[in-house]
Amino acid sequence: MSKHGRKPDETTLTVWQVVELARHAERPYSMDYIRRMAPDFIELHGDRLSGDDPALVGGIGTWHGRSTMFLGHQKGRSLKERVARNWGMMHPEGYRKAIRLAQHAAKFRFPIISLIDTPGAYPGAAAEERGIAAAIAKAIMEWFRIQVPIVAAVIGEGGSGGALGMGVADRVIMLENAIYSVASPEAAASIVWRDNTRKVEAAEQLQLTSRDLLAMGVVEEVVTEPKGSARTDYDATARALDEALQRHMQQLLAQPPAELLQHRYERFRYIDSLIQAEPHFGPKID
Amino acid sequence: MTGAKLPIIPLPTNCPGCGISLDVEELRKHVYVCACGHHFRLGADAWLALIADRGTWQERYGDVRPHDLLNWKVPKPYQAIIEQLREEGLNEAVRTGTCTLGGRTIWLAAFDFRFVGGTLSIVAGERLARGMEQAAAARLPYVLVAASGGARMQEGVLALMQMAKVNAALGRLDAAEVPFFSVLTDPTFGGTAASLALLGDINIAEPGAAIGFTGPRVIKQATYADLPAGFQSADFQLARGQVDMVVPRTELRRLLAHLLEMYP
């Protein structure tokens, strides 16, 4: 139940209004949460191969008395910062940095928090030239080997493989007005209609709201936002997010690493089990 | 041992590579590679015939079938799309099973671009993951032929999740120290490229294949960039370190058989 006196399913917003809220320029970004959750946060940079990706922030901070690795997409506030951070769209260096820091965290037994807020991986020539597909692929595979608890939260936009590259976790939670989708509504419209102006219809069909994802079993929990959405009260949103992350993390910290990895495997291996339970799908085990 | 004769596939009257008028039977004998080097796209049935030793293909999980989960209606109902493709004799975007290649038992999976653009779907992901788990447990080499536009939009975020599902299983294959050979054909993009296709122990691209994450149309829309000729081609990916080699289809079977002799 919500602290704000509302249940997430009481929304009257249209799907497109939720998309606009998820993308709102005044919505809190990863650093707004990280600074509130871990005021002593120290940022760490670079993939140790070729560069640093400012679209992803990463570093350590003390969270509930424990050194914790924070990773998060970071969109910029000002136009200058937006350009510098590439609107939160990661290049290959970002995924390599993420895995470097995840391995660093595993080495020192720091749990990991991953905050997801990206339209997608950068859809440009430079990312292609440096192997964005393989960088995401490798990251997704490596996340399954990180022997410390990982909780991910979709705080704004969860767009496509660019988001999933940061979203392989033991628990995935979602803010009420965040979205998580196979592709942005514009990209989906462009693929299905060959016309990206059909974005509203695409968004309505994609089932990308937090309620949809909870119903499909893709996320474990929806964190209710304050009345008027996260942008109206950063502190209250951060407290609600912190509480949910902490609750999940506490449960995971009790698990031995082998069990943790097995559960993480099963979480994604059978993520469509609600669908697989349908008789038309066919037998789950031959 | 040789592969089976390839099925007859629909072809244009002239080769898009060199413009020459096509002799279908001649082309079929040359595994649908024109004398000019143009590689025509093959469906999963043709790939299975080309790679498996004749008469050894045993399809698995063909009974795992797709259906519309999201009630996707426009511009075309997803259920109608699936049913129509099924009537045309296509069985999802990935087919998988076991066979021998040069006498050695392997797991083989082939994407089929004709089925909703070879898109990674729940059924495709399920077939791939089950095969990889089986291959890991039985310590059998795994050969993939990729041809895919990416994740399937009509299955929403559950299609996206297949990237994690498949890569989780691929991790098991990797941990079992079983060789994984990935053949990248035209086109291999999006969620398929960003999950299993580029993680082969050996990545083999077909000449002229377009391989990448974001397709050229979307790159142009998003960044207004003019892409140079050959951007995302097999040779481009070879030069950028993403594939080990670019190998004509006419030599592929022999190469895979040879690799299977060299790897445990």
The pLDDT value recorded for residue A282 is: 44
Determine the CATH number of domain B41-262. 3.90.226.10
* Residue A167 near residue B31 (C-beta atoms within 8 A): no
Shortest distance, CA B200 to any CA of chain A (angstroms): 10
CA–CA separation, A200 vs A17, rounded Å?
A: 10
Contacts of A140 in chain B (CB under 8 A): 163-164, 167, 194-195
Contact A128 B231 (CB under 8 A): yes
Interface test mutation site (partner A, options B63, B81, B96, B153, max chain A beta carbons within 10 A) = B153
Contact A190 B195 (CB under 8 A): no
Contact B194 A216 (CB under 8 A): no
Contacts of B74 in chain A (CB under 8 A): 201, 205
Contact B165 A193 (CB under 8 A): no
Contacts of A187 in chain B (CB under 8 A): 218
Mean pLDDT score across all residues of chain B = 96
- Written as six digits, the tokens of A46 are 């670079």
Contacts of B157 in chain A (CB under 8 A): 180-182, 206-208, 212-213, 216, 218
Residue B131 reports pLDDT greater than 60: yes
Please choose, from the candidates B12, B111, B75, the residue with its C-alpha nearest in 3D space to the C-alpha of residue A189.
Answer: B75
Interface test mutation site (partner A, options B130, B167, B199, max chain A beta carbons within 10 A) = B167
CA end-to-end span of chain B:
20
Interface test mutation site (partner B, options A114, A144, A191, max chain B beta carbons within 10 A) = A191
Q: Using CB atoms, which residue from B159, B171, B194 is nearest to A145?
A: B171
The pLDDT value recorded for residue A195 is: 86
pLDDT category at B4 given cuts 50, 70, 90 is confident
pLDDT category at B1 given cuts 50, 70, 90 is low
Mean pLDDT of B11-32: 93
Count Cα neighbours of A12 within 13 Å in the Cβ-side half-sphere: 2
- E strands present in A160-252: 171-175, 179-181, 221-223
Determine the CATH number of domain A8-281. 3.90.226.10
The pLDDT value recorded for residue B5 is: 87
Q: Using CB atoms, which residue from A123, A134, A206 is nearest to B222?
A: A123
Phi, psi of B97 (to 5 degrees): 170, -165
Contact B165 A271 (CB under 8 A): yes
Positions in chain A short of pLDDT 70 = 1-11, 275-286
Contact A205 B227 (CB under 8 A): no
User: Which three-class secondary structure state does DSSP give residue A16?
Assistant: helix
Shortest distance, CA B29 to any CA of chain A (angstroms): 34
Contacts of A268 in chain B (CB under 8 A): 161, 164-165, 168
For chain A, the domains span 8-281
The pLDDT value recorded for residue A10 is: 58
Q: What angle do CA A228, A232, A233 make, to 5 degrees?
A: 120
CA–CA separation, A8 vs A12, rounded Å?
A: 10
Please choose, from the candidates A192, A170, A173, A178, the residue with its C-alpha nearest in 3D space to the C-alpha of residue A260.
Answer: A170
The identity of residue B146, as a single letter, is: A
Residue B107 reports pLDDT greater than 50: yes
Give percent of chain B above pLDDT 90: 91
* Residue A213 near residue B157 (C-beta atoms within 8 A): yes
> What's the burial of A268, exposed, middle or buried (CB within 10 Å: 0-12/13-18/19+)?
buried
Shortest distance, CA A22 to any CA of chain B (angstroms): 16
Contact A161 B169 (CB under 8 A): no
Mean pLDDT of B55-65: 94
**Residue B97 bridge partners (DSSP):** B59, B108
pLDDT category at B160 given cuts 50, 70, 90 is very high
- E strands present in chain A: 42-43, 56-63, 66-73, 112-118, 150-159, 171-175, 179-181, 221-223
Q: Using CB atoms, which residue from B157, B197, B232 is nearest to A218?
A: B157
pLDDT in tens, A165-186: 999 999 999 999 999 999 999 9
The pLDDT value recorded for residue A280 is: 52
